Amino acid sequence: MSVVARKEYVGVARDRIENFNGKQLVFISWDHHLLFAAPMMFCVTPQTRLGELLDRHLQPLLQADPDAAAIDWSNAEWLKGNQPWVPDFEGSLADNGIGHKQQLRLRTPGLNSVCAVQ
């Protein structure tokens, strides 16, 4: 359905990085695990180590899934921007090229107790 405006509409994006006081949004999803219906959003500084984001923020949220304890993080597959990617867990988000509103996707082949067909 079309919309007719009485005057020019100027949309102002409120999720620009300038509005996060030195922090940024990062989205992480776990492919083929439907217990998490959408990517999880984290608001952290660009200087946050990727390993810290996973250990302190992501892993506690994943514990609801029966496969969480069996994740082998050294063999996990990652995608950034839908492209295969090898993360540096000791590096910061900035060092890893992870920008504001970037989505990372985690894949754990063989772990699929609560998932769609792989």
Tens of pLDDT, residue by residue over 19-32, are 999 999 999 999 98
Instruction: Answer with the residue of higher pLDDT: 2 or 98.
Output: 98
Report pLDDT for 101: 96
> Within a domain: residue 118?
no
> Within a domain: residue 2?
no
Report pLDDT for 109: 87
> Within a domain: residue 116?
no
- What one-character DSSP code corresponds to residue 108? -
- Domain harbouring 36, CATH code: 3.10.20.560
> Within a domain: residue 38?
yes
> Within a domain: residue 113?
no
Number of compact structural domains in the chain? 1
pLDDT above 60 (res 62): yes
**Beta-carbon contacts of residue 21 (< 8 Å; ≥ 6 apart):** none
**Domain extent for 34:** 17-107
Confidence of residue 52 (pLDDT cuts 50, 70, 90): very high
Tell me the pTM: 0.85
> Helix (H, G, I), strand (E, B), or coil: what is residue 18?
helix
> Within a domain: residue 114?
no
> Within a domain: residue 6?
no
Confidence of residue 11 (pLDDT cuts 50, 70, 90): confident
Report pLDDT for 115: 57
- What value does the mean pLDDT take over residues 46-75? 94
> Within a domain: residue 43?
yes
Alpha-carbon torsion (75, 23, 43, 19), positive or negative: negative
DSSP result, 46-88:
TTSBHHHIIIIIIHHHHTTSTTGGG--TTT-EEEETTEEE---
Report pLDDT for 117: 54
